[in-house]
Every structure is written in C-alpha cells, then in structure tokens.
Amino acid sequence: MPHQIYRCSSVFICGFILCSLRRLGQSRFTIAISAKIAGRQFLLAGILIMGLLWLFVACMVAQEVDAPRFDGKDTLLRPVGYREWVFIGSSLGLRYDPEAAEKSRPGSERYHNVYINPSSYREFSRTGRFPDGTILVLELASAAQKNEPGLQGSYQDKFVALEASVKDSRRFEDVWAYFSFDEKDGTVKDKAQPFPKKACWSCHNQKAETDHVFTQFYPILRQARPSK
C-alpha cells in the first residue's frame, strides 16, 4: 500500500512538473512571439516618427529658403534662386502711367517677368490670401525685334533690372514695401532700401486687384485662387 501511494504520488508529481514545464515553455514561446511583434511595432513606429520629423524639418527649411531675408529692420537682401520659384507671368511695356504712350519709344519697352516664393503661392492657392512673408520678384528684360522673312516678333534680349515687393505687417507700417536692386552703372546690388510710399505703394494700393498684387494680369494666380 505505501508503495502504491508513493508510486501514485510520484506519477502525480512528475505529471505536475511536466505540465508546469510545458506551460512554462508555452509562456516563454508566447513571450518571445509577443516581444518579436512588439519589437517590430516599435521599429515601425520609430521609422514613422523619423519620417515625420524629416518631413517637418524639410518644410521648415523650404520656408526659410524662400522667405525674405533682411539686414536690420527694412534693408532687403537680394533674393537667391528666385528663378526656381513659381513663375506667375510676363508682360511687355505694361504700366500705369498717363503719359506712358508719350514716353515710350521704339525699343524702350521692357518685359516684366514675375516670380513668387513657393510657400506663399501654396498659401494663396489654399486660402486666396497672400500671407506675411510673401515676396514677389520682378525681373526686367529689354525687348528686341526680329523682322526677317519667316521670323517676325519681339523677344527678351538682356536682363536690365531687378525689383521686389514684400508683405510683412510686423516689419512695415504699411504692410507692403517695394525695392529696387539696380545700381546707376547697370549692375545689381546685394541689398536695397524700400521705395518711398508714393513711388509704388500708392499705385498698387489703388490699382491692384488682390492685396497689392495685380492678379488681374496673372492668369496663373487667378486660376490658383480657390473658388468662393
């Protein structure tokens, strides 16, 4: 009888131990699988966070690159890389001047090529408003004529002037300011002071269709503006 009890006890203990070991093995396996899944999820989360951080930094750098740069309070530094910005239009000899017809002479008209910084263009496309930090660059080129058999018309010859307008309500009392980078000897300078208010501001304030910008002459901006 004692031997039977001992044998039963041994079998029970062995069974209990085997069952415990089996459960322990399953638990370890489950823990290992869970750890592997958690590790993958953590890795994916890390990659996602790094991607978002990279995108955020890229956006900030892009905004800094195309934002107006100043030396002091109101001295504008000549924009860099503006020919890679959004080209919004060109005109030939177009200007608000009652005596324009009398002043103009053959060969004196200029092409006006206008660029806007990309971040402001995107904001205008989204809201229909030009944000603070908007800068438009006006690059002027002389006009030349071709009158040959099979070739007639006007084309841009040489770049002759560079101007810019900037919107910054915190920097300028009148929100918008206008600049010229032209030197008297025909070269382009690195920085410019704003024009007096009567030089450009008044005309843009009176004649421009949208917040000091002549959108009436730029179909690219009119089409980009969201519908009301």
Residues 6+ apart with CB under 8 A from 62: 118, 119
What's residue 33's pLDDT? 57
pLDDT tens column, 171-217: 999 999 999 999 988 899 999 999 999 889 999 999 999 999 999 99
Q: Is 170 helix (H, G, I), strand (E, B) or coil?
A: coil
pLDDT tens per residue, the chain (228 residues)? Answer: 444 444 444 444 445 444 554 554 555 555 555 566 667 776 777 777 777 665 554 455 444 579 999 999 999 999 999 999 999 999 998 887 766 555 555 567 899 999 999 999 999 999 999 999 999 999 999 999 998 888 999 999 999 999 999 999 999 999 999 999 999 888 999 999 999 998 899 999 999 999 999 999 999 999 999 987
Q: Identify the CA nearest to 167 among candidates 107, 125, 210.
A: 210
Structural domain boundaries in the chain: 1-66, 70-224
pLDDT digits (tens, 9 = 90+) for 126-140: 999 999 999 999 999
Within 8 A by CB and 6+ apart from 65, the residues are 81
Classify 22 as helix, strand or coil: helix
For the segment(s) 70-224, the CATH number from 3.30.70.270, 3.50.70.20, 1.10.357.10, 3.40.50.150 is 3.50.70.20
pTM of this structure: 0.71
